[in-house]
């Protein structure tokens, strides 16, 4: 149980750090506007799906979790 507590604490710190970085405005110009993100607008309808942004975030989280498990 002790390992689980350490893991939760580290994940909480990482989440807080990520929140502070995003709150500061880092990534505001490029996050969600990468090449490959889908954006379609017609009239008063707009559809947006950040495919590449989701892939980049998933790869970063996978790398972080892999590093924590070692």
Asked if residue 45 and residue 22 are part of one domain, the reply reads no
Lowest mean pLDDT among 21-25, 44-48, 49-53, 60-64: 21-25
Q: Give the per-residue pLDDT at 1.
A: 63
In the chain, the number of structural domains is 2
Quick one: tokens of 13? 């710190």
Lowest mean pLDDT among 1-5, 33-37, 39-43: 1-5
pLDDT at 27 over 80: no
Interatomic CA distance for residues 6 and 50, integer angstroms? 33
Asked if residue 51 and residue 20 are part of one domain, the reply reads no
Asked if residue 42 and residue 20 are part of one domain, the reply reads no
Which pTM does this prediction carry? Answer: 0.59
Domain range enclosing 62: 32-70
Burial class (CB in 10 A: 0-12, 13-18, 19+), 31: middle
């Amino acid at each position: 149980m002790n390992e689980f507590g350490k893991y939760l604490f580290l994940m909480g710190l990482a989440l807080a750090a990520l929140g502070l970085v995003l709150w500061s405005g880092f990534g505001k110009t490029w996050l969600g506007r990468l090449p490959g993100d889908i954006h379609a607008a017609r009239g008063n309808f707009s559809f947006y799906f950040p495919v590449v942004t989701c892939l980049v975030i998933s790869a970063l989280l996978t790398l972080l979790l892999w590093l924590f498990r070692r």
